[in-house]
Structure 1
Amino acid sequence: MPKFTEQEKEQIRQSLLIKGKEIFIKYGLTKTSIDDIVLACGIGKGSFYKFFSSKEELYYEILKNEEEIRETVLNELFREKLSPKELLASFFHTSFELVEENPFLQQVFQNDDHERLNRKLPEQMLEFSKENTERGIHAVNMLMERGVLPQDDPKVIVGIIQAIMMIRLHKHEIGEDVFPKVIAQIIEFIAEGFTKEAKRK
């Protein structure tokens, strides 16, 4: 196996992340092979294993990167000067849109990719889920401190956010033509309800 400089290692790693993401979006985790990935990157299979022990590990690394990008965008919202209702509605809309506009994150939950990751990388996925929940609770606590959300169990509010995310899986049943209006109305009702409750408490 060839020896790589640190710069070459970083270039190969980035290539694996970028090309791997493209292939996973196209075929899904189950149907993608390591051969597909190394061919796209122009490297040997032995070189792949210097960076990742399996295609699931590569997929997991891409998933973590996508979540970090999403977290950065959401954190930017807290710097904007918006009314409580506007901030909360923007938070829900942005959370939804970041998944809706990201084909990789859509792929994770629409196919059996998430289940496969849980089987192949149980410890990493448990930690990932825990970190996701903690990030959600942190965001909710920040909104509570600013009086945007009522003082309630943050896990319940995180659950509501996750429920909104899951609605997109039923876009076809709801009707793709009315779906954007349905989501907008749900977010409007939730933002209105939460901000009124926060004022009362």
Structure 2
Amino acid sequence: MSRFTERDRERIRNQLIEAGRDLFTQFGFERTRISDLTEEAGIGTSTFYQFFDSKEALYVEVLLAERESLEAQIAEAVKAVDTPREEVRVLLKTTLSEVRSNPLISTLIVDGELRALQDRIADAKVPDDPISSDTRHSELPFAKRWAELDAFRYDDPELIDQLLMSLVFTARSRNAPIGADNDVAYEQVEDAMIETIVDGLFADG
């Protein structure tokens, strides 16, 4: 029987998730050891296994937390604008920024790591990932509502999803896809690409 109270368990679990976030971001999944995670969280190895069956199971939790954080950022950004055009613009800008600056978000979206982990962990209780790179199962927020607008050029939410996600993939490399060789140049090109996509999605563009 565990010697931890419910409050202790919640605290330790959160410490492990935070330690995982820090170390997976810095060193990646493969180079991060369970001993690194337990040292960072200030617990023993045996305690780790009272909370997670494996490093992969912790990684799933970390990626889920990152996904929820991104969805909250997008929702907050979209809430601050008034038109569907602005919604598309801020969704893309927010997502692209996170893909470029956050290795875990890049792994989650571009590499589809969460879905791959689901296949590797038979007992993982992970819901479908709405922003996975596997677009057969993905659904960007707001796509269904946009598809119903008369001014929107496309009425297929899955197609809208795929169009927007294809732009997200360009954020994986600053140089190869678009030729920008510094931050300022990249942001200028990115802004131009977003405006082009937005204009093309609306019939009044």
TM bin, normalised by shorter chain, reads 0.7 to 0.9
Moved more, 56-65 or 83-92: 83-92
- The answer to whether the 8 A contact 1:84-1:195 is kept is no
The structure 2 residue matched to 1:181, chosen from 173, 185, 188, is: 188
Residues 114-133 of structure 1: pairs in structure 2 closer than 5 A: 117=117, 120-121=120-121, 127-129=127-129, 132=132
Contact residue 16 and residue 37 of structure 1 kept, 8 A: yes
Runs of 4+ in 1 over 4 A off after TM superposition: 107-116, 122-127, 130-135
Deviations 1:43-64 (A, max 9, x none): 1111111111111110111101
Match of 1:6 in 2: 6
Q: Which of 135, 139, 143 is equivalent to 1:136?
A: 139
What SS class does the counterpart of residue 189 from structure 1 fall into?
A: helix
User: 1:64 matched to which residue of 2?
Assistant: 64
**Mapped partners of 2:167, 2:153: distance in 1:** 19
CA, structure 1 residues 175+131, in 2 after alignment: closer, same or farther (shift >3 Å)? closer
**Unpaired stretches in structure 1, ≥5 consecutive residues:** none
How far residue 35 of structure 1 moved from its aligned partner, in angstroms, is 0.9
Q: Which amino acid aligns with 1:25?
A: T
Counterpart of 2:166 (choices 163, 185, 189) is 163
- CA apart distance, 1:155: 1.1
Please say which of residues 93-102 and 73-82 is displaced more in the overlay: 73-82
**Who is 1:195 aligned against?**
202
**Conserved? CA contact 2:180–2:189, under 8 Å:** no
Give 3-state SS (helix, strand or coil) of 2:79's partner: coil
TM-score (norm 1): 0.82
| Mean CA deviation greater in 63-72 or 125-134 | 125-134
Amino acid at match of 1:155: E
Counterpart of 1:149 (choices 148, 152, 155) is 152
> What is the alpha-carbon distance in structure 1 between the residues aligned to residue 79 and residue 130 of structure 2?
26
Q: Are the aligned partners of 2:114 and 2:129 in contact in 1 as well (CA < 8 Å)?
A: no
Structure 1 segment 34-113 matched on structure 2, within 5 A: 34-108=34-108
Q: 1:179, CA displacement in angstroms?
A: 1.8
SS at match of 1:171: coil
How far off its partner does 1:95 sit?
Answer: 1.9
Q: 2: distance between equivalents of 1:109 and 1:135?
A: 10
Per residue, is there more helix in 1 or in 2?
1
- What is the Cα deviation at residue 180 of structure 1? 1.4
Instruction: Tell me the SS of whatever aligns to 2:15.
Output: helix
Q: Which runs of 5+ in 2 are unaligned?
A: none
Q: What CA distance in whole angstroms lies between the structure 1 residues aligned with 2:112 and 2:144?
A: 32
